[in-house]
């Protein structure tokens, strides 16, 4: 595979948080929606009994390759995140009631956030990586959860865990082990190292 040299990157996502991380790192890029059916991909994967980390990587790969086919010759970055609690994999909550159920299930327990990132060129995967963070939520009463959700509103619906650590969601936790960028949803340090090694950004 021929890897393009320094040029404008593509982020296969419309996530404002992933865009923010890349912009803050000084990267120049375009952002396009991958337009894939994530739930259909997950349903197909269930037959193989993949780990939550594998699911994150598969979805990141699907996003990156889908966009890279439409933009040959460009380096396309795809990323996805799964939240796992024991054997359960969480999806983004549907409405405030769904967010409440998420937080009740996570209360007082330790869950994992698995963030996969993939670089694709011309529909082929050039690189893949997954990082995992471990988060322990403090015990939360149902009344506190209701008050918390009333304050933060529907912003939490964009997060698989129904919380945003960069905001008031930090109050829900008693211990966090892992990289901040992994938690937000795009492991920046390994991604930047790989982009440098490919000659895609200034080293």
Torsion angle of C-alpha atoms 118, 121, 123, 128, degrees rounded to 10: -20
Ranges of residues in the chain with a pLDDT under 50 are 5-6
Beta bridge partners of 80: 116
CA distance 19 to 27: 10
Domain residue ranges of the chain, discontinuous segments joined by +: 9-197
Q: Residue 92 has what pLDDT? A: 86
Alpha helices for the chain (secondary structure H): 16-24, 38-46, 52-70, 95-106, 142-152, 180-184, 188-197
Place of tokens 């769904």: 98
Q: Please tell me which residue in 30, 37, 80, 143 is annotated as part of the active site.
A: 80
Residue 163 CB burial class (10 angstroms; 0-12, 13-18, ≥19) = buried
CA distance 90 to 102: 8
* Range 9-197 classified under CATH 3.40.50.300: no
Q: Residue 7 has what pLDDT? A: 60
Q: Nearest 5°: phi and psi at 8?
A: -75, 125
Whole-prediction pTM: 0.87
CA atoms within 13 A on the CB side of 165: 21
SS3 content of the chain, % helix, strand, coil (to 5): 40, 25, 35
Identify whether 37 is a catalytic site residue: no
Q: Residue 48 has what pLDDT? A: 77
Q: Residue 40 has what pLDDT? A: 76
């Amino acid at each position: 595979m021929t890897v393009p040299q320094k040029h404008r990157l593509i982020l296969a996502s419309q996530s404002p948080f992933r865009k923010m991380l890349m912009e803050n790192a000084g990267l120049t890029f375009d952002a396009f929606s991958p337009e894939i059916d994530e739930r259909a991909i997950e349903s197909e994967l269930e037959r193989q009994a993949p780990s939550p980390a594998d699911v994150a990587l598969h979805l990141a790969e699907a996003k990156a390759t889908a966009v890279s086919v439409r933009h040959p010759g460009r380096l396309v970055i795809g990323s996805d995140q799964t939240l796992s609690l024991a054997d359960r994999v969480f999806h983004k909550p549907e409405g405030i009631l769904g967010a409440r159920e998420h937080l009740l299930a996570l209360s007082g327990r330790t869950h994992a956030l698995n963030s996969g990132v993939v670089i694709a060129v011309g529909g082929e995967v050039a690189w893949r990586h997954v990082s995992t963070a471990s988060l322990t939520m403090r015990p939360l009463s149902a009344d506190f959860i209701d008050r918390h959700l009333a304050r933060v509103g529907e912003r939490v619906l964009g997060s698989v865990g129904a919380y945003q650590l960069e905001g008031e969601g930090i109050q829900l936790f008693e211990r966090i082990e892992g990289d901040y960028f992994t938690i937000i949803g795009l492991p920046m340090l390994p991604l930047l190292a790989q982009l440098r090694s490919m000659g895609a950004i200034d080293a």
